[in-house]
Amino acid sequence: MKISTIAAVAANGVIGMDNDLVWSLPLDMKFFMNTTKGHVVVTGRKNYESIPERYRPLRGRTNIVVTRNLNYVAEGAHVVHSLKDALDLARQQGETECFVIGGGQIYRQALEAGWVDVQYITHVDASPDGDAFYPLEGWKGWTEELLTSHKADEKHDHAFRIVQHLKPKP
Ligand SMILES: NC(=O)c1ccc[n+]([C@@H]2O[C@H](COP(=O)([O-])OP(=O)(O)OC[C@H]3O[C@@H](n4cnc5c(N)ncnc54)[C@H](OP(=O)(O)O)[C@@H]3O)[C@@H](O)[C@H]2O)c1
């Protein structure tokens, strides 16, 4: 099973603030929805709760929430207590590409464990204040393929480039 992260990341590594996003980029959201559709998505409990209630669990995807809280319940989603358990559950379901969808703690743990094969990164042309971060060193030495780019406009707060970073072969 391939393990992929998918994230929109500012030049300073910021991905969020006060458990919310810090920009509006509808075409990036569309990319996220299209790319993860039909797959298992693994989310930290905080990121899960940042999704507006009417949109969670994310439809058309198997949602797995990671929390240390043994009593946590998320209707319509699986709840597990480690990232490894989340990935094992995705494998048991026969998943071929499992998406780690954040937030900062979960991205970092997946990358530091060396479990990630692909990083779909929307590089956002901004350096906002924030309190959640993607590890900027995450794609150092990885090959990259530009998928699309977009200028800032009336619907998009910032310009961005969506890049697929691929783990170098050993
Ligand atoms: N820009 C983007 O693409 C993007 C994507 C996703 C999220 N975000 C942003 O990221 C922010 C949220 O990220 P975050 O770093 O604060 O939180 P997070 O990674 O979403 O969730 C952290 C929580 O996950 C659980 N957890 C973490 N490690 C665990 C482990 N090893 N075992 C069991 N449970 C574990 C804990 O839940 P409990 O406290 O319940 O134990 C922890 O409090 C928000 O601002 C969100 O908007 C941005």
Q: Is 102 in the pocket of ligand 1 (CB under 6 A)?
A: yes
pLDDT at 126: 98
Q: Of the candidates 30, 39, 159, which has an alpha carbon nearest to the alpha carbon of residue 96?
A: 39
Q: Which ligand 1 atom sits nearest the alpha carbon of residue 68? A: 41
Q: Which ligand 1 atom sits nearest the alpha carbon of residue 48? A: 20
Domains assigned to the chain? 2-166 (3.40.430.10)
Q: Is 25 in the pocket of ligand 1 (CB under 6 A)?
A: no
Beta-bridged to residue 7, according to DSSP, are 121
Predicted TM-score (pTM) of this structure: 0.98
pLDDT at 170: 81
Q: How far is the CA of 154 from the centre of ligand 1 (A)?
A: 30
Q: Residue 112: which H helix or E strand, with range?
A: helix 104-112
The DSSP secondary-structure symbol of 85 reads: H
Average pLDDT, integer, range 32-49: 98
Say how far apart CA 139 and CA 132 lie, in whole Å. Answer: 18
Residue-wise pLDDT for 133-159, tens only, equals 999 999 999 999 999 999 999 999 999
Average pLDDT, integer, range 57-86: 98
Token couple for 21: 């996003």
Average pLDDT, integer, range 5-26: 97
